A and B are shown apart, each in its own frame.
Chain A
Amino acid sequence: MHIPDGFLSTPVWLALDATGLPAIALLARRARRELEEARTPLLGVMGAFVFAAQMINFPVAAGTSAHLVGGALLAIALGPAAATVVMTAILTVQAFVFQDGGILALGANVFNMAIAGVLAAWLPYRLWGRGAHRRAAIFAAGALSVMVSALLAVSELVASRVPVSRAALAFLLVVFGISAVVEGAITVAVVRAIERLSPRVIRQGGTEPSWVLALCGAGAVLLAGAGGLVASTNPDGLQWLGGQLDILGRITNVFTAPLADYRARWLGSPWAAKAAAGSAGALLVGLICVALGRAAARPRSA
């Protein structure tokens, strides 16, 4: 689901560019610190591998075939920060060279696939990647990465008032569900084959399973995917909430106080307020994700 330019409304693409791209800059710095230098070419070559692997057809029922999407495989093989950087590089090349996804929409696509998709893949693998549930964890990683990215993309389209009827939405959800299951199955098969062929490569996921973390993770994934969709199909509800809490009013007040004359010009206009609210929301989700990641990554002595 690469969103091309021309589909997202200005507040949506602006907010996602303004939050997604700085987040990538931070993650790139982090990935660079975490990795030994030897892995820089590795990241590029792994990106090329994901492109090339899409030529390999996996047979699915009734004569159709599918291919690897790869976000989950990258998260499992390289770790989340590096996988995010590789996915961003892939999306950038796709936008500039292959016209797969727009350039103004790059922030949105990066947010959906490189940030949220990789995080959704990494959480289950991190939590259950070792031990009895390893297979299920890898399956969940593949399936969730596709599902969360696709749901976010549709939420953004709906929030941009691209008309998607209930029937069309139901159709899309079925398509996403099937793609998610297929990606999960492909990821499991490929990871197991890699482990047999080159056993040192794959990182072992998982610490001791923790139900608290698992619930937090599930909550974050649910919020990112389903929550976005529900919120965007019910904009009135979001506005009601905003009105109740007077969030929008306060945000515009804070921003416009020093620029009172311009208030009516553009900061007071509804789309600027929406963009500000959207950025604040995305930032909040980002901070929650970072906090969760920190908590999950902390080595436990028990």
Chain B
Amino acid sequence: MHHVVLERWSRGASFLHSRDARVKILVLLAYLVALATTPLTPAAGACYAALLGVAIVAARLPLAGLALRAAAVLPFAGTFALFSLLAGDGARAASLVAKSYLSAAAALALAGTTSMPKLVRALESLGVPRFLTLVIQFLYRYLFVISEQAQHMRLAALARGGGRLRFTHAAGAAATLFGRSYSRAEGIHGAMLARGFHGRMELLADARLGAADVLFLVAGVAAAVALRLMTGAAA
């Protein structure tokens, strides 16, 4: 499954992997804001792509695999780019596709170098409410489990000869999955309480800002600002 690959990528040990997650989020935001406010010419697009490419290579992430995954934005981007093209604005269409694709690839570079618990903890220390980050963590943890259950149910239905479900049968399958998820949640909570859960997920080590983190923050933001200044007036 998709996020299993991300789990593997985020366990790497490059310079980028070991930077503090808060710093990486801030640098990503600087890059995204710079990209979003730039009137994108082909030359500017190439500069942004090059900067991102350097980061991906430095993190030793597979370039082709990442490029393929970032293509998840293309159905949406392509549809609206097509509308632009039909309206006779070819440059706009190209810029829409390029901007959304580069932004998605940049977000993937963050997710590919940061494990989910660290990412969520960083979001929390940047001001996202604890309750929401807790829900995000439970969601991410059980996404896998419940998706697998859904797949088992589909396989079981196929094995019984139900190649194509009827509408009410599909509804029944969804309701069964809902009921199982619901009672699983109750069980999870009981088990967590029994193990001393007090409303917060613990990490093995608390994040500390090192000199390398500060350096990366300054360099990353400076690179984004420099690119932004080089590539023209405000949009």
Binding site for B on A (CB under 8 A): 1-10, 13, 24-25, 28-29, 31-32, 37-38, 40-49, 51-53, 55-59, 68, 77, 85-86, 88-90, 92-93, 95-100, 102-104, 157, 162-165, 167-168, 185-186, 189-190, 192-194, 196-198, 201
> Within 8 Å CB of B84, what residues of A?
162-163
Given A43-B138, A68-B174, A194-B178, decide whether A28 and B72 contact each other with a Cβ distance below 8 A. no
B51-59, B181-189, B211-219, B224-232: which lies at the interface: B181-189
- Residues of chain B within 8 A of A165, CB atoms compared: 83, 86-87
**A45-B146, A90-B139, A194-B178 known; A7 vs B107 contact (CB < 8 Å):** no
CB distance from B24 to the nearest CB of A (A): 12
Q: Across the interface, do A31 and B235 meet the contact criterion of CB distance under 8 Å?
A: no
Q: Which of B2, B92, B104, B119 contacts A102 (CB 8 A)?
A: B104
A299 and B85 alpha carbons, distance in the complex (Å)? 54
Task: Give how many B residues have a beta carbon under 8 Å from the other chain's beta carbons.
Answer: 85
Contacts A5-B103, A53-B178, A193-B175 given; does A45 touch B188 at CB 8 Å:
yes
- Nearest-neighbor residue (CB-CB) of A194 within chain B: B175
17 contacts between A and B (CB under 8 A): A4-B76, A9-B235, A37-B199, A41-B188, A44-B136, A47-B139, A48-B147, A49-B178, A56-B150, A85-B131, A89-B136, A99-B69, A102-B104, A103-B107, A163-B83, A189-B170, A189-B171
CB neighbours of A196 from chain B (8 A): 175
- Known contacts A185-B167, A193-B171; 19 further A-B pairs (Cβ under 8 A): A3-B76, A6-B98, A7-B96, A7-B100, A25-B129, A41-B192, A42-B189, A44-B136, A44-B141, A45-B139, A46-B181, A51-B146, A97-B3, A102-B100, A102-B104, A104-B103, A186-B171, A194-B178, A197-B172
Most B C-beta atoms less than 10 A away, residue of A10, A38, A41 = A41
User: Looking at the complex, which one of A40, A53, A104, A197 makes contact with B36 (CB distance below 8 Å)?
Assistant: A104
Whether A104 touches B174, Cβ cut-off 8 Å, given contacts A45-B142, A97-B6, is no
B132, A41: Cβ atoms under 8 Å? Answer: no
| Minimum CB–CB distance for A28 against chain B, Å | 4
Q: Which of B3, B150, B188, B199 contacts A53 (CB 8 A)?
A: B150
**CB atoms of B80 and A164 under 8 A apart:** yes
Closest to B143 in A: A48
B70 touching A99 by the CB < 8 A rule? yes
Contacts of B137 in A (CB 8 A): 44
Chain A residues with CB under 8 Å of B110's CB are 96
- B22 located at the interface, meaning its Cβ lies under 8 Å from any Cβ of chain A in the complex: no
Complex CA distance for A198 and B181, rounded to whole angstroms: 12
Decide: B135 and A52 in contact? CB cutoff 8 A: no
Complex interface: chain B residues within 8 A of A55 (CB): 147, 150-151, 154
- Cβ-neighbour of B136 out of A2, A25, A92 (below 8 A): A92
